[in-house]
Structure formats: structure tokens, C-alpha cells
């Protein structure tokens, strides 16, 4: 499996000639989802869900499908009948040759005055990769590669470090990093790497690695 980091929260997974894209939002490249055989969306916030990017992906590949919470799926289902699938915690499905489990229900608390929305995480191929979206969800099985939401308005670095410790992955790659400045990156790298208890890594947008 090849993992390609796109900007912010978006990643592409390639396996056996097929492509799965997770969270091609407004902070990601315009073509982040183009070429995908399947797209997974964790929640409705615009940095994870951009309707234009998803429409471009589905129009480019008539066989492509989308799996997302109802708040996202309802916005696309009428335009692409039979190709948009609503998922929630506990669901399992196969998309583009990948086995997917859905974990989690709610977005992390941003502020007590802001209502929480639906957010799901996607566990790929029995734990090879886990993308939690905007939550610190711990799946009920071991994780090899954690896509780590490293910096967000709803988190602080101590919570990020404790999350890595609780999940206990073999390695963690940063996502949700568009707001993290170049000045801050060495601090996050050093503290998460020293205290997280796992192999902490970072890919530049467009860079890939084999898992």
C-alpha cells in the first residue's frame, strides 16, 4: 500500500491499481480527489469536505463512490444516485478493494457553546491505517499507521501526545497541519517524537511512502 500526503487532512492510499482518498477538503489541492475509485469523508467541516472536489472526482470516474456521515451524504446523494453511501459507527464495507471499518461518532469539543457534529474515523484493512478525522477516537483494534491530527483549534499538544500513547500505533504521520507554521513544526516534532512512544513522522504535501 502506498500512502500519499495531500495538504491538511487529506491522504491518498493506493493498492493494486486502485485509489482511496480520505477528506479532500477546501485546504487540500483542487484535484486531491480526482482519480479516486472511492472517497471517504469524516465530517462536514469545509477543511475536510468540499463539494466541488467530490463532484470533480465522481464526474471524472463514473464508477467512483463516496462513503460519509449523513450530514455529508445528504448533500450529494441526489446528484449521484446509488454512489453516495451513509455510514456510521460500527459499519463495515469494502471500497476500491480496501476493507473499511467505521469508528467514532462525534467531533471533538471545540468549545462548550458550539454544538458537536457527527464525525467518523476510518480504519483501513484491519488496522493498517486509521484516520480519525477531527476526534481522538481510539479504535477497538491495533493500529499500524495512525494519521495524527497534529494541530487544531480543538486540541492541545498534550492531548495529541496522550492520544498517540493510547492508540499505540507502530508509526504516526501528521495530518490536520495546515495551520501549523514552519516555526512551530520542530517543536511539535520534538515533543511528539520524544513523548508519544511511537515512530513519529511527517510527509510534505505530495510526498509518498510505502506501508
Whether residue 169 is contained in a domain is answered as no
* pLDDT tens figures, 60-83: 999 999 999 999 999 999 999 999
Whether residue 183 is contained in a domain is answered as no
Whether residue 120 is contained in a domain is answered as yes
pTM above threshold 0.85: yes
What is the pLDDT, as a whole number, of residue 91? 98
CATH code for the domain of 84: 3.60.15.10
| Residue 107 to residue 24: CA distance in whole angstroms | 17
Residue at grid coordinates 496522550: 162
Total domain count for the chain? 1
Helix (H) or strand (E) holding 197: none
Q: Please list the alpha-helical segments (H only) found in 39-198.
A: 51-60, 70-73, 157-167, 185-195
147, three cell numbers = 494519521
Helix 157-167 × helix 185-195 angle, to 10°: 40
Asked if 131 and 119 count as a contact pair (C-beta separation under 8 A), the reply is: no
What is the pLDDT, as a whole number, of residue 125? 98
Whether residue 6 is contained in a domain is answered as yes
80, three cell numbers = 449521484
76, three cell numbers = 450529494
Low-confidence ranges of the chain (pLDDT < 50): none
What is the pLDDT, as a whole number, of residue 46? 98
* Structural domain boundaries enclosing 57: 2-147
Whether residue 118 is contained in a domain is answered as yes
What is the pLDDT, as a whole number, of residue 67? 98
| Residue 140 to residue 106: CA distance in whole angstroms | 16
Whether residue 31 is contained in a domain is answered as yes
Whether residue 67 is contained in a domain is answered as yes
Amino acid at each position: 500500500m502506498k500512502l500519499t500526503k495531500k495538504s491538511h487532512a487529506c491522504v491518498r492510499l493506493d493498492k493494486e491499481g486502485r485509489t482511496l482518498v480520505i477528506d479532500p477538503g477546501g485546504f487540500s489541492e483542487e484535484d486531491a480527489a480526482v482519480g479516486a475509485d472511492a472517497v471517504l469523508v469524516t465530517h462536514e467541516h469545509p477543511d475536510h469536505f468540499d463539494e466541488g472536489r467530490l463532484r470533480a472526482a465522481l464526474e471524472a470516474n463514473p464508477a467512483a463512490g463516496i462513503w460519509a456521515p449523513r450530514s455529508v451524504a445528504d448533500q450529494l446523494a441526489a446528484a449521484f444516485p446509488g454512489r453516495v453511501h451513509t455510514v456510521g459507527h460500527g459499519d463495515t464495507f469494502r471500497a476500491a478493494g480496501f476493507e473499511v471499518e467505521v469508528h467514532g461518532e462525534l467531533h471533538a469539543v471545540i468549545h462548550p457553546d458550539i454544538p458537536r457534529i457527527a464525525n467518523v474515523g476510518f480504519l483501513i484493512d484491519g488496522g493498517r491505517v486509521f484516520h480519525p478525522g477531527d476526534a481522538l477516537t481510539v479504535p477497538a483494534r491495533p493500529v499500524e499507521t495512525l494519521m495524527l491530527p497534529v494541530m487544531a483549534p480543538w486540541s492541545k499538544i498534550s492531548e495529541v501526545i496522550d492520544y498517540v500513547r493510547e492508540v499505540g500505533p507502530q508509526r504516526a504521520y501528521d495530518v490536520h497541519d495546515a495551520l501549523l507554521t514552519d516555526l512551530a513544526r520542530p517543536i511539535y516534532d520534538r515533543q511528539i517524537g520524544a513523548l508519544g512512544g511511537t515512530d513519529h513522522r511527517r510527509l510534505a504535501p505530495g510526498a509518498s511512502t510505502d506501508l
